[in-house]
Amino acid sequence: MAEVTSKVDKVAKLADPMESSIDASTQEMLRRAQRLNVETVFDRAVTMKPCAIGMQGICCKNCAMGPCRLPLPKDGIQGEDTRKGLCGATANTICARNFIRMIAGGAAAHSDHGRNVAITFLAAARGETHDYKIKDPIKLMQIAPYFGVATTVEVDGVVKDRDIKEIAIAVGEKAVAEWGKTSGTIDYLKRAPQPLQDKWAEAGVLPRNVDREIVEIMHRTHMGVDQDFRNLMKQGTRAALADGWGGSMIGTDLQDVLFGTPSPLQAEANLGVMKEDHVNIIVHGHEPLLSEMIVAAAQSQEMIDYAISKGAKGIQLSGICCTANEVLQRHGVPPAGTFLQQELAIITGACDAMVVDVQCIFQNLANVAKCFHTKLITTHPIARMEQDNVLHIEFDEHHAMEDAIRIVKIAVDNFTKRGADVIIPRHKSAQIAGFGVESIRYHLGGSFRGDYYTLNDNIINGRIRGIAGVVGCNNARTKHNDEHITIIKELIKNDVIVLTTGCSAIAAGMHGLLTPESAAVHCGPGLAEVCETVGIPPVLHLGSCVDNSRILLAATEVVKAGGLGKDICDLPAAGSAPEWMSEKAISIGQYFVASGVYTVFGYHMPLEGAPVFKDYLYKDMENIFGGKWDCEPDPVKHAHKMIAHIDKKRKELGIDKARDRVLMDMADRQALGME
Ligand code: NFS
C-alpha cells in the first residue's frame, strides 16, 4: 500500500462502526479505514455537526446584504410572526425559496442526464456514432406517438410501417426539443391519468419545457422577485413535474431503447462482489452512456485476455450508486454498494480503477485513492476534481468504445500495482433486479388481459394491502441502510408490496430483500402467497433514481387496469425516501406529491423554521393534487404512517373489509368499474 496521506489526524472523533451502519461489510471496512488512518464520511459526520439554522430552512444567502438568518424563537411563534430579513423577506418566503432551489438543483441534475441521453440517442439514430445501436425498437414504437411521431406512413393509399431509422430520428429531435421548445407543454404529461392532467391544468403548473422551469426558479428566487410561498411552490411544482414526467421519463425511455428495457435477472450485491484475483473496476455515478461501453469493453475477449496476461483471473466489474443500478438492471453487473460505501470500496485495497461521471461522487474519493493504488478516473466534462492524483479521460459518445477500452486497460495495468494488504469483506447477497413497467405487467398482469389486472385483483381482495415506493439515498446523519431496511420490512410484513429504486434498491439487495425466498421470511401471509404463486420478490427493483419515472407509469397502469379509483391519488399507495440527502430527492418528492402520492421523508426536512410553509406542504398540497409531504425519522412509525394512509384509501375505495379472496364474475368486475 502507498504511504497513507489522508488527513485523519485532523479529525477530532472517529465514528463507531456499529452505530454507523447495519451492514457488516460496511462496519468491517470502516474499522479497517480507522486502523489505516484513512478518513471517511462516517468520521466526518461525527466531527462536523450540521448548521441548526440551515437545517430549519431559514437562512437566506440570495443577496449580499445577508446571509439573513431567521431562527424560530425558543418558545415558538407567539402571536404574529415578525421575523424578516433585511429586505423584509419572511420565513415562509425564505424557506420556500430554499426549497424550490433544491428542486431546481435536483430537476437540473436528472434532466441534464436525460438531455445527454437524448443527444446521444439522436446521434445514434443519425448514424453519427457507431458504438450505440437501437436495442429495443418495440419500445421506440411505443413511445413515438407520445412525441407525435407517426409509426406508419401512407404510400399510394396503402398504410405501411415507417422506416425505423426515420422514426428514431424524429423521436430524437422531438425529445431533444423538450428541453427548450417555445410553445406548448411537455409531451409526456399526456401519459398521466386524465384527472391528474386536469388538476395540473387547473393549478396552473403544466410545465412548458424542462430548461425554462428550472431557469424560472432561479429568476423567481433572485432577490426581490417572488415573495409568496404559494406562488414559489407553484413554480417548484412545475419544475418537479418537468423532471418526473419530462427529463427523467425521457431519459429512462431512451436508455431503454438504446440499451435494452430491463427484465428480471439474477445478481449479487455488496462489497463482497469484488474479487481479489480479478481486476476490479467500479463504475460510479449516474449516466449509463459510458458505463454501458465499459461493460462491453470489460466483457470483450481482448480485454479479458489482456487481464489474464497481467496475472489476473479476469475482470470483475461492479457499481456504486445509480450507475450500479443501470448496469445491474440491464447486464446483471453487481452493485458493490450504496452511496455511503464509495470510499469503502477503495479501502478494500482491491479497487484497481474507480470510474466516475456525475452526481453523488465524494470529492474525498481522491484523498482515499491516494492512500491506495486505485486510479480514480473522472470522465465527464462537467465533473472534474481538483486533486492531482485524479486522471481525467473525457468521454465522448462519438468514440465511446475507444474511451472505454482505454479506461479498462488502465485498470488492468494497475492490477499489477496492488499492495499486499487486500481485504474484501465476504458479505454479499443474492438478488433479482431489473423490474420495469413491462415486466411487472408480464409477471402480475397475465398475458390474457395484458394489463395490471392480477395486481389490482390482489389489491382489491386484500392479499396485497397496497403499494409503496421506497426510494432514495443514504445519509451520513442516519445509520446506513437502517431506515431503508426497517421500513421495507415493516411494509412487507403488513402485506404492502414495495417498488424500490436508487440506493434504497441497492440496500434492499444487500440485505436479501430482493429474492422471491424472502417473501416466506418477511411478508405477511397475503403478500407472501402472491409472491410465492407468481415467483417474484416482495420488493421489486425498478432501477435508478431517474427510473422513478417507472413508478409513476406503473401507478398509472394500476389506475388504468381499473377497480382502484380514477387517479393516482385514489390508489392505496404511498411513497418514502427514508435516508434522503440530495436535491434530487426533493425534486422527486415534489413530483410524487404533485402526482397524488402521500410521500414521507425520513431524517428531517428543512422546513421547521417556517411552520406556515411547512403546513402548506404537509396539509394544503393534498387539496390541490391529492398528495402531500410528511416527515418521520422513526422508521417503524414512518412505515405505519404509510400503512395508515393506504388503509384510508382502501376505506375510501370500499375495499377495506374485502380481505377474503372473492372470485369475481363479470358483474362484480363491472361493479368495480373494471370493464
Ligand atoms: Ni438518487 Fe442516485 Fe443514491 Fe441518492 Fe445519489 S445515487 S440519483 S441521489 S445517493 S439514491
What is the pLDDT averaged over residues 405-423? 95
Taking a C-beta distance cutoff of 8 angstroms, is the pair 59, 51 a contact? Answer: yes
The predicted pLDDT at position 634 comes to 98
Q: How far is the CA of 639 from the centre of ligand 1 (A)?
A: 21
The predicted pLDDT at position 159 comes to 93
Taking a C-beta distance cutoff of 8 angstroms, is the pair 596, 569 a contact? Answer: yes
Amino acid at 299: Q
Can you count the helices (H) and strands (E) in the chain? 29, 18
Write out the residue limits of the CATH 1.20.1270.30 domain(s) in the chain.
91-259
Q: Give the residue whose CA is nearest to atom 6 of ligand 1.
A: 321
Q: With a cut of 50, say whether residue 3 has pLDDT above it.
A: no
Higher pLDDT, 520 or 661: 520
Give me the residues paired with residue 513 across strands.
none
Atom of ligand 1 nearest to the CA of 501: 10
Q: With a cut of 60, say whether residue 658 has pLDDT above it.
A: no
The predicted pLDDT at position 661 comes to 43
Range with lowest mean pLDDT among 55-69, 318-332, 352-366, 429-443: 429-443
d(CA 147, CA 125): 16
The predicted pLDDT at position 452 comes to 84
Q: How far is the CA of 48 from the centre of ligand 1 (A)?
A: 22
Helices of type H across 181-247: 194-203, 210-220, 229-242
pLDDT digits (tens, 9 = 90+) for 509-542: 999 999 999 999 999 999 999 999 989 999 999 9
Range with lowest mean pLDDT among 343-347, 409-413, 433-437: 433-437
Taking a C-beta distance cutoff of 8 angstroms, is the pair 372, 366 a contact? Answer: no
Q: How confident is the model at residue 666 (pLDDT cuts 50, 70, 90)?
A: low
Write out the residue limits of the CATH 3.40.50.2030 domain(s) in the chain.
271-415, 433-673
Q: How far is the CA of 345 from the centre of ligand 1 (A)?
A: 17
Q: With a cut of 50, say whether residue 477 has pLDDT above it.
A: yes
Q: Could you tell me which CATH class the domain 271-415 is placed in?
A: alpha beta
Element (H, E) at 316: strand 315-320
Which grid cell sits at 24? Answer: 457488516
Atom of ligand 1 nearest to the CA of 321: 6
User: In sequence order, which residues have a C-beta less than 8 Å from that of residue 64 and are 6 or more positions away?
Assistant: none
The predicted pLDDT at position 670 comes to 56
Q: How far is the CA of 581 from the centre of ligand 1 (A)?
A: 8
Which grid cell sits at 626? Answer: 391529492
pLDDT digits (tens, 9 = 90+) for 194-205: 999 999 999 999
User: In sequence order, which residues have a C-beta less than 8 Å from that of residue 554 and are 6 or more positions away?
Assistant: 437, 440, 452, 499, 542
Q: Give the residue whose CA is nearest to atom 9 of ligand 1.
A: 473
Atom of ligand 1 nearest to the CA of 584: 8
Q: How confident is the model at residue 448 (pLDDT cuts 50, 70, 90)?
A: low
Q: With a cut of 90, say whether residue 9 has pLDDT above it.
A: no
The predicted pLDDT at position 667 comes to 60
Q: How far is the CA of 314 from the centre of ligand 1 (A)?
A: 29
Q: Give the residue whose CA is nearest to atom 7 of ligand 1.
A: 545
d(CA 347, CA 162): 53
Q: How confident is the model at residue 585 (pLDDT cuts 50, 70, 90)?
A: very high
What is the pLDDT averaged over residues 52-66? 96
Higher pLDDT, 205 or 420: 205
What is the pLDDT averaged over residues 187-195? 98
The predicted pLDDT at position 1 comes to 46
Average of per-residue pLDDT values in the chain: 94
> Which of 284, 359, 601, when mutated, tests ligand 1's pocket best, judged by the most ligand atoms within 8 Å of its CB?
359
Amino acid at 220: R
Which grid cell sits at 133? Answer: 445501436
Residues at CB less than 6 angstroms from ligand 1: 286, 321-322, 339, 360, 472-473, 502-503, 545, 582, 584
d(CA 474, CA 477): 9
What is the pLDDT averaged over residues 293-298? 97
Q: How confident is the model at residue 450 (pLDDT cuts 50, 70, 90)?
A: low
d(CA 583, CA 344): 24
Q: With a cut of 90, say whether residue 624 has pLDDT above it.
A: yes
CA angle, corner 11, sides to 8 and 14, nearest 5?
90
CB atoms within 10 A of CB 438: 21
Q: How confident is the model at residue 498 (pLDDT cuts 50, 70, 90)?
A: very high
The predicted pLDDT at position 77 comes to 87
Q: Give the residue whose CA is nearest to atom 2 of ligand 1.
A: 322
DSSP 3: P
Atom of ligand 1 nearest to the CA of 360: 5
Element (H, E) at 496: strand 496-500
Q: How far is the CA of 588 from the centre of ligand 1 (A)?
A: 11
What is the pLDDT averaged over residues 405-429? 96
Which grid cell sits at 314? Answer: 479476469
Q: With a cut of 60, say whether residue 447 has pLDDT above it.
A: no
Range with lowest mean pLDDT among 11-25, 228-242, 495-509: 11-25
For residue 508, how many C-alpha atoms fall within 13 Å in the half-sphere facing its CB? 39
Q: With a cut of 90, say whether residue 65 has pLDDT above it.
A: yes
Q: How confident is the model at residue 12 (pLDDT cuts 50, 70, 90)?
A: low
Q: Give the residue whose CA is nearest to atom 5 of ligand 1.
A: 360
Q: With a cut of 60, say whether residue 11 has pLDDT above it.
A: no
Atom of ligand 1 nearest to the CA of 473: 4
The predicted pLDDT at position 137 comes to 97
Q: How confident is the model at residue 673 (pLDDT cuts 50, 70, 90)?
A: very low
pLDDT digits (tens, 9 = 90+) for 252-265: 999 999 999 999 99
At 581, give phi and psi (nearest 5°).
Answer: -145, -20
Q: With a cut of 90, say whether residue 411 has pLDDT above it.
A: yes
Q: Could you tell me which CATH class the domain 91-259 is placed in?
A: mainly alpha
Atom of ligand 1 nearest to the CA of 339: 9
Q: With a cut of 80, say whether residue 649 has pLDDT above it.
A: yes
> Which of 252, 473, 477, when mutated, tests ligand 1's pocket best, judged by the most ligand atoms within 8 Å of its CB?
473
The predicted pLDDT at position 675 comes to 37
Q: With a cut of 60, say whether residue 446 has pLDDT above it.
A: no
Which grid cell sits at 665? Answer: 364474475
Range with lowest mean pLDDT among 240-244, 397-401, 535-539, 600-604: 397-401
Q: How confident is the model at residue 674 (pLDDT cuts 50, 70, 90)?
A: very low
Q: Could you tell me which CATH class the domain 433-673 is placed in?
A: alpha beta
